[in-house]
Amino acid sequence: MKRSFPNDFLWGASVSAHQVEGNTKNDWSAWEPLHAKNRARKTGESLENYISSKAADHYSLYENDFDLAKELNFNAFRFSLEWSRIEPQKGHFDRAEIEHYRRYIYALKKRGLKPFMTLWHFTNPLWFSKEGGWASKNATAYFGRYVARVVSEFGKDVTHLITLNEPGVYLFAHLYQGPQHLKNPLSYINTFRNFVAAHKTAYHAIKDYDPSLEVGASLNMSYFEAFENKRFNRVIKRCADTINYASAKSLERELDFIGLNHYTYNIINLQKVPYTPVSDIGWNLYPPSIEHVLCDLKRFNKPIYITEHGLADAADTYRTWFIKETLKHVHNAIKSGVDVQGYFHWSLLDNFEWEAGFHPRFGLIHVDYDTLERRVRPSAYDYAGVCKTNSLDE
């Protein structure tokens, strides 16, 4: 028995600029030496693990990486622009970097890979950060200016744009650490409001340029389960679900599609946790969780692209199983009426995983960080079979 997906379903993988390009100069790269020093002092680990440096050098090797993506039967690819390259000084746009990304997008299209372009994926120009970053009163205007320039340059070459990647995760993480540490609740509130305003500003700037362009945001959503259905656990689950969907609700009117980033299954239980396989960084691997989240998103009546889904699995032990079992549940959601239109695995390449450094291996393709040699993992070929046939075998 086969589970067939819609004929126009998009199959691919995702990357983000800072994590794979290498040699970026933004607020994260400026913060990394301090984080590396503190982490190394606590754990005795190498400083180099937490410095992004050349990363996977995707900036130079993107054509080779796109050839591999094409060999894996992808028909789409999600990437992000590095704002700090395009606007390295306030109001100054770097023509050479704009042309780099133009060649990048052309290389995708030449190989039949539909570009899904993300405008912001966690990193900020140094000048923006120094002015207060996303908590500042000028954040929305600065982002709007950047988006207007980007869409004027690339709007004719793309069809789908993602304004923001996981603004809720950025907010939560930066309560505790990160280059733009939010030191008080007021900064948190201002940043949340600015993210909402920035998305709306970007949405209308893009639509003013070309109303046919599809605009969305990628939102991280976990699945929460109240273990044994205890009353207290149900209350906590309800609160968690409310937070989970707050971003989508706040952006609902200015979303042509929802980008879903889904990784984890969270059991709300104060006593014991039922066993599931876990990834190399301890995240529960529970394929049915994505079906629950997708069915909950049906309430918004929007097309959905799964813009990130994956696991840290250096030995490639669980990846094939996790992808195929997850896709069975995506198929279930489609059959129940959820308008899922694509799946992008995280990630095409092993990459720099933010504060965790280079240890986690999320890539369909293994990267030797010393030689930059690429090696396609067996699970990637298994995923390629699904992409080629547009179906899953039971």
β-strand pairing of 114-118 with 76-80: parallel
Confidence of residue 236 (pLDDT cuts 50, 70, 90): low
Lowest mean pLDDT among 66-75, 266-275, 365-374: 266-275
Distances (CA, A) of 219 to 15, 26, 113, 193: 15, 23, 23, 16
Please, which residues have CB within 8 angstroms of residue 98's CB and are 6 or more apart in sequence? 86, 153
Distances (CA, A) of 16 to 19, 56, 59, 228, 342: 6, 11, 11, 38, 18
* pLDDT above 80 for 231: no
Instruction: Look at the chain and report how many structural domains it folds into.
Output: 1
Q: For residue 72, what is the DSSP state?
A: T
Confidence of residue 332 (pLDDT cuts 50, 70, 90): very high
What pLDDT is stored for residue 183 in this prediction? 64
The answer to whether 366 touches 375, Cβ cutoff 8 Å, is yes
pTM (2 d.p.): 0.96
Please state whether the peptide bond connecting residue 347 to the residue before it is cis, i.e. omega within 30 degrees of 0. Answer: yes
* pLDDT above 90 for 331: yes
Percent of the chain with pLDDT over 70: 93
Q: What is the mean pLDDT of the chain?
A: 93
Lowest mean pLDDT among 41-55, 206-220, 256-270: 256-270
* pLDDT above 80 for 155: yes
- Residue 296's CATH number: 3.20.20.80
> What is the torsional sign of CA 177, 83, 140, 157?
negative
What pLDDT is stored for residue 180 in this prediction? 64
Q: Summarize the confidence of residues 276-298 as an average pLDDT.
A: 93
What pLDDT is stored for residue 190 in this prediction? 87
Choose among 296, 270, 275: nearest CA to 285: 275
* pLDDT above 80 for 240: no
Q: Summarize the confidence of residues 340-357 as an average pLDDT.
A: 97
- Domain extent at residue 317: 2-393
* pLDDT above 80 for 267: no
